[in-house]
A and B are shown apart, each in its own frame.
Chain A
Amino acid sequence: MSSTAPEAAKAELVRRLRDLVAPEFVIEDAETKRPYECDALPIYRELPMLVVLPESVEQVQSVMRLCHDEGVPVIARGAGTGLSAGALPSPAAVVLSLARLDRILEIDPLARTARVQPGVRNLAISEAAARYGLFYGPDPSSQIACSIGGNVAENSGGVHCLKYGLTVHNVLRAEVIDVSGERFVAGSEGLDAAGFDLMALVTGSEGLLGVVTEITVRLLPTPETAQVIMAAFDSVSLAGDAVGAVIAAGIVPAGLEMMDGHAIRAAEAFAQAGYPTDASALLLCEIDGTAEEVAEHCGRVERMFGELGAISTRTSRNEAERALFWKGRKSAFPAVGRISPDYYCMDGTIPRGRIAEVLTEIDRMAENYGLRVANVFHAGDGNLHPLILFDANVPGEFEKADEFGGRILELCVAVGGCITGEHGVGIEKLRQMPAQFTDSELEQLHAVKRAFDPSGKLNPGKSVPTLRQCQEYRTLARTRESAPTGPSSAPPSRTLSRMRKSST
């Protein structure tokens, strides 16, 4: 079925879906569908054919079966906080929202696990586990809103992933409905399961391999205490080196975050966290554990920062101060939103030792493009989040920001890193995939996709570019290289122009 398919076929599909799911949860009209037209990267927008909101796993299964029989593509959706247009609808597809599957099914304090439905919010798990002295490790900044199903689909990270691991390290088992409506289980309640590690494959699969309908996560004991050391530096290189030094010294902080001058000033104006606004770089290093451990490590880190040229260091003296130090960091994105009409967040990762060098190069590129960049990122993991500041109302400025972003990601690959650390490829980074993978590697990824979804009906067109698309991207890249003086006048890729057109 396509957007040009007869209305009759669509009406028939709606009728049959309404037999499976309560009529009001099969959304047909444009106005009610509107909130589903994009995720948190709204430069890509498209209305789906239909939105369906099942309330049980059985309903998910029967919707999948029906769509499979009718050859209708399905796009799973959690909370829509994704930053790579992973949940972007298409006019021929059904958006399957998991939002109503939002129950915490079981918490087992002795085994330290929680069994939850995919629509449960990330933070809700930690809140429910708190009474047992436990918490769920991965804490994306979007944790008040994003769903655990979306976290599994994106292999999300967060500030505390440096010590507690990414989603893939904290999920034990998942129940998945495949494209034909059949249920399979990945992982097990134990730490390791025999057989192929389908849990690893499903994690980060961006809704391409199946719809996750139940998840068992590990819970961790809440640390006895935590303190944050805030250190200001007068250059990003010194701060970058200090990050490497902490890691190399054998201390594993719970989080180690870095902000540059733009981000410091924006965050301070927004949150009044007490950040030194004259600094060029700020590190926030959280140490947690037992009281003895925290005291021992905080002392070592503070001394180390001093020796490495920090212009000032402060260690939080109580919980209120620790929360305040983090408040600035956690509101950095909206804070940057106040200093620029629009910003575009990149997600490349690099070896930690190259932080200073890469940030310097990004600055140089920014100058070439005539755009500003604010940096606030997971330094301990080498996961950059350059925020490119631009004004979408200025003609051509988005295209410039978009191209600049692509170049940052290619730079990350060139220094031994990758194009995405936690936000996923979605639609947004398809064009950079050929920078990281060869054609045979991409073909292998397609083969994995086909093993689960031979007809290619689950979230089609996302995450892995076709080899034809790759050729096109490479040609574009060559055009750009032959005009090395700055931003090229090459038109944006076809995918992008198509998506953009529909947004206006």
Chain B
Amino acid sequence: MADICDQIIESIEAARRNREPLSIVAGASKRFLGRTSNGSPLEVAAHEGIVSYEPGELVLAARAGTRLTEIEATLAERGQALQFEPPSFDGAATIGGTLACNMSGPARPWSGSVRDAVLGIELVTGRAERLRFGGRVMKNVAGFDVSRLQAGALGAFGVITEVSLKVLPRPRHTVTLVRALDAADAIVHMNKLAGTAKPMSGACWHDGSLYVRFSGAESAVEAAAGQRGGERLDPAATSRRSEAHARDTANGATRRRIRSAAKRSTRRRLRSAANRQTMQPRSGGTWPSIGSSISGPAHRSGASRFRRRRRYRGSTANGSSTGAAHSAGFTATSTRTNSNAWRNRRAAT
């Protein structure tokens, strides 16, 4: 339990004075996401600890460096859980990194993502200002939704120092069914099933098998599961599989093509809105300061980053060219490297 916010602010001030880029590092669990950053590391994992937890309110607030495992253990004592089932990456993942990378797990289509669960944040911007947005109540529409803007921004707007979240009661009963099915049929089957009012909480096709999970009131889960064919899966196996799947899909998701996004000038202004003085691009160079993130940089919004990445596919450079191309960064090479790393890691566990 430590509050190192003042230290974080000092580091940012120093970086700002020296016009130096920073790379925010927490659990370093998601290096596979995004490209390698060229900022000097700003370690935030020590800024940790649950700040408040009121089970009756279904609200938990924690410093950004708090490990998901700690949060989940605390919630479990009161029969509650993070509804978005984030991957905890062998215990290394922090709540700040999870939000910055917008990481959710198998329940995401039914009970929402980390972005959906966020109620408020504290943020230290690139101008070293400590700001709070949102709060600890279920509904809040005063001002722009700066809290949810952090989801997937990979730290581009500043260091998230505190996150408050809506938590939910752990489902009383869960059953996972598995049956062999080919991918095309599985997708249609899953979508059809999701269109019925059954207490579903997960669906996944992996390696020739379709997994469907039901959670909720025992009577409802048993009734829904009873109507469907398939073998019941041992719960421990399910959680191991979903972790592996998370790593797979995290890369998959970033590869998704996006047709269009906000104008570049809007994105640039938005970014500099949080980092005005330190985030000015040097001519043909990098973005000094908090342009980088827990696991990779966010010089560009995903859209253009990935557009560029497609254009530069096959380039061996990892962000070494100049100007716009530089920020393409996330090259085919880095993906390959990452997936290798991931494979090795999985083999090791």
Which residues of A pack against B, CB within 8 Å? 109-112, 132-134, 154-155, 157, 161, 165-166, 168-169, 178, 182-186, 188, 190-198, 200-201, 203-205, 208-209, 221-224, 244, 247-252, 289-290, 292-293, 295-297, 349-353, 378, 381-383, 416-425, 429, 433, 436-438, 440-442, 444-445, 447-452, 454, 463-464
Output the nearest chain A residue to B254 by Cβ-Cβ distance: A194
> Given that A191-B108, A195-B303 are known contacts, is A289 also in contact with B216, CB under 8 Å in the complex?
yes
Kindly provide the distance from the CB of B319 to the nearest chain A CB, expressed in whole angstroms.
17
Contact of B146 among A155, A296, A421, A445 (CB under 8 A): A445
Output the nearest chain A residue to B262 by Cβ-Cβ distance: A184
Kindly provide the distance from the CB of A449 to the nearest chain B CB, expressed in whole angstroms.
8
The CA of A266 and the CA of B167, in the complex, are separated in Å by 36
Kindly provide the distance from the CB of A294 to the nearest chain B CB, expressed in whole angstroms.
8
Can you identify 11 A-B contacts, CB atoms within 8 angstroms?
A: A178-B266, A200-B149, A200-B151, A222-B197, A247-B58, A289-B199, A349-B140, A381-B138, A423-B141, A425-B142, A464-B143
Q: State whether the Cβ of B240 lies closer than 8 Å to any Cβ in chain A.
A: no
Chain A residues positioned under 8 Å from B115 (CB to CB) = 192, 197, 200
The CA of A442 and the CA of B142, in the complex, are separated in Å by 11
Chain A residues positioned under 8 Å from B229 (CB to CB) = none
> Given that A194-B302, A248-B55 are known contacts, is A418 also in contact with B261, CB under 8 Å in the complex?
no
Output the nearest chain A residue to B151 by Cβ-Cβ distance: A197
The answer to whether A451 and B266 touch across the interface, beta carbons within 8 angstroms, is: yes
A-B contact count (CB 8 A): 263
The answer to whether B137 and A418 touch across the interface, beta carbons within 8 angstroms, is: yes
Kindly provide the distance from the CB of A91 to the nearest chain B CB, expressed in whole angstroms.
27
The CA of A349 and the CA of B194, in the complex, are separated in Å by 33
Q: State whether the Cβ of B136 lies closer than 8 Å to any Cβ in chain A.
A: yes
List the 3 closest A-B pairs by CB distance, nearest first: A195-B302, A194-B302, A250-B169
The CA of A444 and the CA of B102, in the complex, are separated in Å by 22
The answer to whether A444 and B131 touch across the interface, beta carbons within 8 angstroms, is: yes
Output the nearest chain A residue to B103 by Cβ-Cβ distance: A192
Q: State whether the Cβ of B223 lies closer than 8 Å to any Cβ in chain A.
A: yes
Output the nearest chain A residue to B188 by Cβ-Cβ distance: A110
> Given that A248-B56, A293-B219, A351-B136 are known contacts, is A112 also in contact with B194, CB under 8 Å in the complex?
yes
> Given that A247-B56, A352-B56 are known contacts, is A382 also in contact with B137, CB under 8 Å in the complex?
yes
Contact of B138 among A196, A197, A382 (CB under 8 A): A382
Chain A residues positioned under 8 Å from B220 (CB to CB) = 289-290, 292-293, 296
The CA of A379 and the CA of B326, in the complex, are separated in Å by 52
Which residues of B pack against A, CB within 8 Å? 54-59, 79-80, 102, 104, 108-109, 112-113, 115-116, 125, 129, 131-133, 135-146, 148-149, 151-153, 156, 168-170, 172, 188, 191-192, 194-199, 216-220, 222-224, 253-254, 256, 258-263, 266-267, 269-270, 272-274, 276, 300-306
Kindly provide the distance from the CB of B302 to the nearest chain A CB, expressed in whole angstroms.
3
The CA of A247 and the CA of B269, in the complex, are separated in Å by 42
The CA of A224 and the CA of B219, in the complex, are separated in Å by 14
**Apart from A221-B195, A290-B197, what 16 extra A-B contacts exist at CB < 8 Å?**
A110-B192, A157-B139, A184-B261, A193-B152, A195-B261, A195-B304, A204-B144, A204-B145, A249-B169, A250-B80, A250-B169, A289-B216, A292-B222, A417-B135, A420-B140, A433-B143
Interface of chain A, helix or strand or loop or mixed?
Answer: loop
Output the nearest chain A residue to B135 by Cβ-Cβ distance: A418
The answer to whether B140 and A192 touch across the interface, beta carbons within 8 angstroms, is: no
> Given that A195-B261, A221-B195 are known contacts, is A422 also in contact with B141, CB under 8 Å in the complex?
yes
The answer to whether A155 and B145 touch across the interface, beta carbons within 8 angstroms, is: yes
Contact of A110 among B146, B191, B219, B256 (CB under 8 A): B191
The answer to whether A444 and B195 touch across the interface, beta carbons within 8 angstroms, is: no
Chain B residues positioned under 8 Å from A423 (CB to CB) = 141
The answer to whether B269 and A454 touch across the interface, beta carbons within 8 angstroms, is: yes
The CA of A429 and the CA of B113, in the complex, are separated in Å by 30
The answer to whether A193 and B302 touch across the interface, beta carbons within 8 angstroms, is: yes
Contact of B223 among A109, A248, A290 (CB under 8 A): A290
> Given that A112-B195, A194-B256, A250-B169 are known contacts, is A441 also in contact with B132, CB under 8 Å in the complex?
yes
Chain A residues positioned under 8 Å from B254 (CB to CB) = 194
Chain A residues positioned under 8 Å from B140 (CB to CB) = 349, 418, 420-421
The CA of A169 and the CA of B151, in the complex, are separated in Å by 13
> Given that A169-B112, A252-B168, A351-B54 are known contacts, is A198 also in contact with B262, CB under 8 Å in the complex?
yes
The answer to whether A221 and B139 touch across the interface, beta carbons within 8 angstroms, is: no
The answer to whether A433 and B266 touch across the interface, beta carbons within 8 angstroms, is: no
The answer to whether A297 and B217 touch across the interface, beta carbons within 8 angstroms, is: yes
The CA of A132 and the CA of B55, in the complex, are separated in Å by 38
Output the nearest chain B residue to A219 by Cβ-Cβ distance: B195
Kindly provide the distance from the CB of B180 to the nearest chain A CB, expressed in whole angstroms.
22
The answer to whether B197 and A221 touch across the interface, beta carbons within 8 angstroms, is: yes
Kindly provide the distance from the CB of A195 to the nearest chain B CB, expressed in whole angstroms.
3
Kindly provide the distance from the CB of B190 to the nearest chain A CB, expressed in whole angstroms.
10
